[in-house]
Amino acid sequence: MQPYVAGSARTVTRSRSVIVVLLGGALVVLWAGHAEACADCHQRLPQDPKWAHTYQDWADSLHAYNDVTCVTCHGGDGDATTAEAAHVGIHFVWAEERGHAGDRLVLSQGCGQCHPNQLSGARASAHFLALEARREAADCTTCHGAVGGQVLNSETITTTCRRCHRDDTPGNTVEVAQTLLEYTRRVRMALVFPEAGKELRGSARDQVMEAITASMAAWHEFDLAAVGLALAHGTGALER
């Protein structure tokens, strides 16, 4: 979405939508507050086609479901009635290094406010060290998108990693990552949606949960060797 241009005296008209969903047989009422207030104004501004989908991406995401709104990440005041007041304290908009390594570093640290464990792992990665040195590298949004919190799968990871990792020799980093991500999915599915008669219980379930936790930490460190070791630990429980 386009940022607000200082000097305008537009008044923000807020619409607070009520969303009713059916979860487990119960009606749940969700208030769409701050994000709707921001969208009321921004949707009337000329939209850059690259960002016009941003609000819908958010609306369809787990961030929206958990009430992580525009204000959560960008600051400002979603209850303000004028554009000037609404934009007091806005951040991630006019960073001096917008679109460059410095801005990507700030962005990742912002994600870490709600995802501290993932950020802690990322700090140990070569990607994060490159960002700290003001070099181009992957940040949180490279893999997870800007607002939707998407999760890579064995198909999308190839396109994502190939933006920088061009080596196509057998056994290259991207191929290894793709294989490990598919195994990660299989281990998680065995825990969450087991086949009939293969439900995990007791120590086997604990072992698989430990493996998933360890592999998720290793993924954010971009430590593929550690991912492989963690998955091997979980697979051992599955094969009992």
The mean-pLDDT minimum among 61-65, 95-99, 102-106 falls in 95-99
Percentage of the chain modeled with pLDDT above 70: 79
Same domain, yes or no: 214 and 160: yes
Say if residue 224 is in the same domain as residue 162.
yes
* Residue 146 belongs to a domain: no
Residues of the domain holding 106: 96-141
Q: Binning pLDDT at 50, 70 and 90, where does residue 240 land?
A: low
Mean pLDDT (the chain) is 77
3-state helix, strand, coil in the chain (%, to 5): 50, 5, 45
Residue 125 has pLDDT above 80, yes or no: yes
Which is more confident, 234 or 70?
70
Mean pLDDT over residues 60-74, rounded? 86
Write down the pLDDT at residue 69: 86
Question: Are residues 169 and 240 both part of a single domain?
Answer: yes
Global confidence as pTM: 0.69
Residue 231 falls inside a structural domain: yes
Of the candidates 110, 98, 30, the residue with the CA atom closest to the CA atom of residue 70: 110
Query: Is residue 12 included in any domain, yes or no?
Result: no
Residue 87 has pLDDT above 80, yes or no: yes
Q: How many domains does the chain have?
A: 3
CA separation for the pair 109, 113 (Å, rounded): 7
Q: Which pLDDT belongs to residue 224?
A: 92
Residue 119 within a domain: yes
Closest residue by Cα to residue 73 from 49, 57, 50: 57
CB under 8 Å to 62, separation ≥6 — which residues? Answer: 149
31 CA to centre of own chain: 22
Task: Tell me, yes or no, whether 7 lies in a domain.
Answer: no
Between 41 and 35, whose confidence is greater? 41
Residue 227 has pLDDT above 90, yes or no: yes
Q: What is the pLDDT of residue 34?
A: 61
